[in-house]
Homo-oligomer: A and B are copies of this chain.
Amino acid sequence: MRNTPQSIRLHIALFGRRNVGKSSLINALTGQNLSIVSETPGTTTDPVLKAMELLPFGPVVFIDTAGIDDRGALGQQRVEKTLKMIDRCDVAVLVIDNRWDHYESELLKRLQTQRIPTIVVFNKSDQHPPDLNLVRKLERQKIPWVKTCATSNEGINALKEQIMRLAPDKSQIQPTIIGDLIHPGALVVLVTPIDLEAPAGRLILPQVQTIRDILDHDAFCLVVKERELKYALAQLKNPPALVVTDSQAFLKVAADTPQNVPMTSFSILFARLKGDLTVFVQGALAIERLKPDSHILIAEACTHHVVGDDIGRVKIPRWLRQYVGAPLNFTHVQGHDFPEDLSRFDLVIHCGGCTINRRLMQSRILKCKEAGVPITNYGVTIAYSLGIFERALQIFPEALEAYKQEQTF
């Protein structure tokens, strides 16, 4: 459990005004002195993330935020960072000290718009019991509430239980990679070319995660390089349930895999895992509608060091320029700098998102939808550039349908 990546943990964010006791509540929830707590309003500046085990649920991340009533130019920046956390949280805790005016109303409205399950916490209940009018109002709106006192631990367990009750199903936080596509006892063939870029003595993480997911679903797999695939398949009494290959080897693998055997790529599996495969397929097809000087946003979740033949900076822009046969405009963003205004873009191409949680990727997809901008990701773009959609999408009928519909235009 200690090694669970942050990206597949349940994200729980605490929001509220300055000095309502958000940090003290997180300390009480986690039993650790993780946030700086003081009597001066506005001690938490940048959001603080803390990973822990919340039993019996499992791995979670608590997000401590700055007060939504923070002031001044700097305060305004902090409020913006706080509001960005709405995109990342699976559950929201709105902490109040009995006051309820436009700060609370507006925040609740934003959370409801984004469909974040929300709990209202009346903290510092030793100083003032919950306002009964407010309680009635929340109950009418079916918003759960809890009365707590962070210093005496009152209500902390009730809050934990309420969080667990509202938490989305684990399958939404981290759906299965491949388990839902196969039955127990199925044999999956994984084709893993070993090229010069692969670190010595290792496999790349998506391959390892896929093997593990297959074993977790009581199935098993044959791991083979593309060169030995044909020979390996000949060793089997029956055809495998599914063949998954690295995109780079797709055409060779397709030639060596019998037509009646379902086949897809790791990039398609992982696009589905974090994002929305159908949306991404539609997004890739929007490449056909790019024009000279179209504007493309390339978004990367992590701030990695840019290397010579960088996929987002070099490879995809080069291929797109060649494909469109004209100059294009690219904007690159990294980390959490996803633009609020997407209207000026004709297409968004996102990285695989291995370091961010599914909620944040879903938020970004939603923002693109609302702005009417198509979105796709690196893996799906590459799959499209290689012309493998028809075969690789066969086991995903909805995405295949989306592809075929666009083809008929």
A223–B192 CA distance with the chains assembled, in angstroms: 14
Q: Are A215 and B236 in contact (CB under 8 A)?
A: no
Instruction: Note all chain B residues with C-beta closer than 8 A to A219.
Output: 228
Residue ID in chain B nearest A174 by CB atoms = B201
Interface, chain A (partner B; CB < 8 A): 1-5, 8, 185, 187, 192, 194, 199-203, 208-209, 211-216, 218-225, 227-228, 231-232, 234-238
The smallest C-beta distance from A39 to any residue of chain B, in angstroms, reads: 36
Q: Are B236 and A235 in contact (CB under 8 A)?
A: yes
Q: Are A200 and B4 in contact (CB under 8 A)?
A: yes
Interface pairs (19), CB distance under 8 Å: A3-B200, A4-B199, A8-B201, A187-B232, A187-B235, A201-B212, A201-B213, A202-B208, A202-B209, A203-B211, A208-B208, A218-B227, A220-B224, A221-B222, A221-B223, A223-B223, A234-B237, A235-B236, A236-B236
A219–B223 CA distance with the chains assembled, in angstroms: 9
**With contacts A185-B231, A235-B237, A237-B237 known, is A194 near B215, CB below 8 A?**
yes
The smallest C-beta distance from A335 to any residue of chain B, in angstroms, reads: 22
Instruction: Note all chain B residues with C-beta closer than 8 A to A212.
Output: 194, 201-203
The smallest C-beta distance from A122 to any residue of chain B, in angstroms, reads: 36
Q: Are A232 and B220 in contact (CB under 8 A)?
A: yes
Q: Are A1 and B223 in contact (CB under 8 A)?
A: no
The smallest C-beta distance from A238 to any residue of chain B, in angstroms, reads: 7
Instruction: Note all chain B residues with C-beta closer than 8 A to A238.
Output: 235
Instruction: Note all chain B residues with C-beta closer than 8 A to A199.
Output: 1-4
A235–B238 CA distance with the chains assembled, in angstroms: 7
A199–B216 CA distance with the chains assembled, in angstroms: 12
Residue ID in chain B nearest A236 by CB atoms = B235
Instruction: Note all chain B residues with C-beta closer than 8 A to A215.
Output: 192, 194, 223-225
**With contacts A199-B3, A208-B202 known, is A228 near B220, CB below 8 A?**
yes
